[in-house]
Amino acid sequence: MSASLAVLFSNYQLYTHQLIQLRWQAKSLSPWIWAPKLAKFALEAEREKDLLLDIMLADGQLPPASKSAHQRLANIPDLQGVKKTLPKILLRLRENSQLILGQIESWAKEQPQEKKWAKLKVALEERLLELEVGPKRQELSA
């Protein structure tokens, strides 16, 4: 499980960076007032990532090297061409979130007595639902 925990932490790192990137891109789209919600999501994801870090440290593990996080960040598009890259980033967020959900569900089955997995899963599912609803609502009003 320890290798999987490092993978989950790494996925949460990427997820958090994607939320922050998406928030900045949302701010640059003047009619799109979704940036505050994304900022809230990023803060919640940071708290969940801190919980995962505590779990890893309690398990005697160190977090993944920051170099890999920087390499992943380099793949996130810059702020130019926001309208073209936004759907791609949303798709990556959904895909990454599904991966994280799958890992959380697997661990919840392995450790049914641990409540932390259920809390992480619920928080992520709520954000995923809002990610699905938010952009569609905006697209309809644009």
- Output 66 or 110, whichever has higher pLDDT: 110
Quickly state the pLDDT bin for 73 (edges 50, 70, 90). Answer: very low
* pLDDT score at 124: 75
* pLDDT score at 76: 45
Judge whether residue 74 has pLDDT over 70.
Answer: no
Residue 78 — left, alpha, or beta (φ > 0 → left; ψ -120 to 50 → alpha)? beta
Give dist(CA 40, CA 44) in Å, integer: 6
Q: What is the pTM of this model?
A: 0.47
Quickly state the pLDDT bin for 13 (edges 50, 70, 90). Answer: confident
Residue ranges of domains in the chain, CATH in brackets? 2-141 (1.20.1260.10)
Treating both helix axes as pointing N-terminal to C-terminal, what angle do 2-28 and 66-74 enclose, rounded to 10 degrees? 40
